[in-house]
Structure 1
Amino acid sequence: MEINVNVSKLVKPSTPTPSTLRNFHISFFDDKSGNENVPLILYYSTSHKEPNDVQTNIFNHLEISLSKTLTEFYPLAGRYTRHSSFIDCNDQGALYIQAKANFQLSEFLHLKWELKSDMLQAFLPCDIRKAGEVDDPLLSVKVTTFDCGGVAIGMCISHKFGDMAAFCTFINNWATRSRKTGNELEVAKYSPLFALADRFPKPDQQLTDEAFERSPSVNNSVMRVFSFKGYAITKLREKVMSEDNNIKHRPSKVQLIVALLWKALVDIDKANGESKVSFVSQVVNLRNVLVPKAPENFCGNFVTFANAQIKVSEGDNMVDLPLIVKLLHDSTNKTTSGYARALSHPEKDYDFLSKPFSERLKSITGNSDVNAYVFTSWCKFSFYTTDFGWGKPVWRSITDMKTPQTVVMMDDEEGDGVEAWVLMDKKRMCELERDLNIKAYMV
């Protein structure tokens, strides 16, 4: 099974970016984001095999609509200057790759996980860590057509430009322009609002992103998908709420899966005789925290961390699941309530806003007494229904995130379940897969 690249080029905005917009300054929250790409691959099927000339039209049509989209999302055609903390909107262009797979989409989707996961990187236009240097595109796209006429659109967007919410605004804008039924009113819904740097500028005295470098990738890490169906999550919720009357809220499906996985990781450390702090960072979208609520097309990075920890001591009783659910809930509530006050205050308390990032950084920087994990949820984002003209995606995936002890959660195909894409070292992953609590609820 091979994927051959036919064309690789830079796509520029259809209308040149005005000189007045040349320097796009990043915000406080952009500065806190790592120099890495956010990956996403969307897979689309068709009911019949497309002839070569139709596939060529697909490539050309997507390129033209991408060029028009870049006129609005002009920073994505520029380059990030890391030492000056701004994007040079020089219209150098986004990377656009056209590729052809010599197999059918159904063949790929029916592969066993080990074979499928080995191929995921082939659908992406670049390594997710190829970011932050002056020559690295802020947006890279790879369009792959299959023998059956199916299409895979692999995308990498720089985290210096935005988070997954901003990524979805871009994708929706591009997809709407690509649909023959798309119109200017529809496109206008997904026009980006670049206001974060004005509202939350990066303080002059603040350290540059060099202080927040990503951790090096670890070669012995592996990625697995743990799938939990809606009915199993309902069963888990009932169990948690029946065992502890102190839980007054209805735990979300994401909160329950984070708790289930974290409990397993704590139990693994205890069983191995480790005496460490188990530290969890949950990514929190601040658009719903801002008062009044930020519009959906609020582009940039607008997230923080809700941090929680458990001291792992050999010989202690195993930490129960309701306690972890409550710990996660209290941590998130404390973060959102504190940020709601801080974000609405005219004088920005950057020490307070920086605290969750500093705690996270401290937990992963040369601290051998801490096992640190990060959980991020992509559930309920709009890419599940993104239509470029061929209907909704039949599958969506990421690839190896290169950062161990990371979990990305996405909705399953039915929408009420959760797929947890977990990256761990091989030893811990084997122990995680054997955990009886996980096996009790996993498909």
Structure 2
Amino acid sequence: MNIEVLSKETIKASSPTPKHLRNLKLSFLDQLASRTYVPTIFFYDHAADTNSHGNDDHLERSNQLKKSLGECLSRYYPLAGTIREDFSVDCNNEGAKYIEARVRCKLSESIGKPNVELFNQLLPFDPYGNVIGCREALVGVQFNIFDCGGVAIGVCVSHKIADAASVATFVNAWATISRGFCSSEADDEEQHPIFNAAMLFPPRDMPGLKRETETRNEKIVTKMFVFDKLNIVALKECASSSCVGVLKYSPTSVQTCVAVHVVNLRDKMVPPLPNHVFGNLWQTVMAPTMVDGDKDLGALASLIGSAVREINDDHVRRVKVDDGNSMRSSKNMRELYLKGEIEALGFSSWCGFPFYEVDFGWGKPTWVCTPNSPYKNFTILMNTKQGDGIEAWVNLLEEDMAIFERDLDLLSFVSSVH
């Protein structure tokens, strides 16, 4: 894919951070987050004004993005800073990375299907490559211009300071400013982020903490399985009625399998936290099961559902005063996984996050995606543009994907595979 980088620059906050806000403590949950980025790509069909010269119009769009990003970083001032030793953010206005690029193809050739090679080039940097050092940008943006006039905006935000919900909040705030509605919405509560996660989950002294995910030299394949509204209804009915034989896995020997699901804590607390409380406010739940060929879809769904329901306000209160038991449990599970004694299946749902509401002034996105993850057996769930379907981005070993994507039971619930 021919992609030409046109320019690179650093966007600083339009106003300096007050001295009393220069140091932001990371929360306990931020400390546990991986040192990677949360990547998202927003595609806009024919974003250029067809009544004006395309290049001039895109230049105006890009300038609008840069100016509004600077204003947004004034509110989201930690995102323009740098991380210090995993315990705090120096809100020093080092700024965000901004890149403009020309993509020599049509937008229609890219949207609606995974294209790992292309997607990686639409981002300002590799979100899973070099881990964040204390001097690297916490936010990166790449404005990609396609030959057809469409554009794609690739955004990377440090996972040490933001989860997917926070990324959605930040990008929507940036888009609101870009649309020129900043003054009329300045008093809107949702436009003012809250950085108090460290008060909710105070940081802890955890010497030797390492949350980098070990990646093995394995070929990971990404496929997108689309479930439309009718498929989802049928799948739920099948799970609730414990349909025998549906999506059953029949290994040659008994195997321990752990389903790991990411749960947003904001709506699990009493009272619930608003979405604009910024940071990593999530927990993973684990649902271990012995996969021996006798577990049907209903039984597996029940196990995961029970684990998720345990994440409530009482659970959150225990996390706040945790004496290390949960960390030791996770560490033990991780060691078993690395030894090959258990198989982990990870799930993260981005459904319900307002990514399709991101309008910079030229309409809502045609398509939104998060590029592939290099971690095997990991699935990200995202809403379709219509909001009633789900795109499941599944990452498996190449040999496993060859079997999975041909499973007839699975395909009976899938409307399309890409």
- TM-score, normalized by length of structure 2? 0.91
Task: Give the 3 Å change call, closer, same or farther, for CA 353–199 of structure 1 in structure 2.
Answer: farther
Amino acid in structure 2 at the alignment position of 1:240: A
Distance 1:350 1:17 in 2: 35
Is residue 349 from structure 1 mapped to residue 318 from structure 2 by the alignment? no
Distance 2:64 2:366 in 1: 21
* 1:6 alignment counterpart: 6
Amino acid in structure 1 at the alignment position of 2:351: C
Aligned-pair identity in percent equals 32
- TM-score, normalized by length of structure 1? 0.86
SS, match of residue 335 in structure 1: coil
* 1:252 alignment counterpart: none
SS, match of residue 363 in structure 2: coil
Is residue 361 from structure 1 mapped to residue 331 from structure 2 by the alignment? no
Are the aligned partners of 1:281 and 1:360 in contact in 2 as well (CA < 8 Å)?
A: no
User: Gapped runs of 5+ residues in structure 2?
Assistant: none
- Note the C-alpha offset of 1:57: 0.9
Task: Give the 3 Å change call, closer, same or farther, for CA 182–70 of structure 1 in structure 2.
Answer: closer
SS, match of residue 185 in structure 1: coil
- Note the C-alpha offset of 1:358: 3.9
- Note the C-alpha offset of 1:219: 4.0
* 2:238 alignment counterpart: 239
Are the aligned partners of 1:141 and 1:156 in contact in 2 as well (CA < 8 Å)?
A: yes
* 1:42 alignment counterpart: 42
Distance 1:18 1:100 in 2: 37
- Note the C-alpha offset of 1:182: 4.3
Distance 1:274 1:243 in 2: 23
- Note the C-alpha offset of 1:393: 0.5
Structure-to-structure mapping, 1:261-410, within 5 angstroms: 267=249, 270-271=250-251, 273-313=252-292, 317-336=293-312, 338-342=314-318, 348-351=321-324, 354=327, 357-358=330-331, 361-364=334-337, 366-410=338-382
- Note the C-alpha offset of 1:139: 0.6
Amino acid in structure 2 at the alignment position of 1:302: L
- Note the C-alpha offset of 1:241: 2.6
Is residue 52 from structure 1 mapped to residue 31 from structure 2 by the alignment? no
C-alpha RMSD of the superposition: 2.3
User: Gapped runs of 5+ residues in structure 1?
Assistant: 245-259
Structure-to-structure mapping, 1:242-253, within 5 angstroms: 242-243=241-242
* 1:254 alignment counterpart: none
4+ residue runs over 6 A deviation: none
- Note the C-alpha offset of 1:64: 0.6
Distance 2:54 2:239 in 1: 54
Are the aligned partners of 1:76 and 1:94 in contact in 2 as well (CA < 8 Å)?
A: yes
Task: Give the 3 Å change call, closer, same or farther, for CA 191–355 of structure 1 in structure 2.
Answer: farther
* 1:216 alignment counterpart: 215
- Note the C-alpha offset of 1:319: 1.2
Q: Deviations over 1:30-53 (max 9, x none)?
A: 011111111100001237545211
- Note the C-alpha offset of 1:386: 1.1
* 1:94 alignment counterpart: 96
* 1:201 alignment counterpart: 202
- Note the C-alpha offset of 1:361: 3.2
Are the aligned partners of 1:28 and 1:202 in contact in 2 as well (CA < 8 Å)?
A: yes
Structure-to-structure mapping, 1:58-73, within 5 angstroms: 58-73=61-76
Distance 1:38 1:218 in 2: 22
- Note the C-alpha offset of 1:133: 1.2
SS, match of residue 319 in structure 1: coil
* Larger fraction in helix: 1
Distance 1:188 1:153 in 2: 26
Distance 1:74 1:289 in 2: 27
SS, match of residue 109 in structure 1: coil
Are the aligned partners of 1:34 and 1:214 in contact in 2 as well (CA < 8 Å)?
A: yes
Are the aligned partners of 2:372 and 2:393 in contact in 1 as well (CA < 8 Å)?
A: no
SS, match of residue 399 in structure 1: coil
SS, match of residue 311 in structure 2: helix
Distance 1:351 1:94 in 2: 35
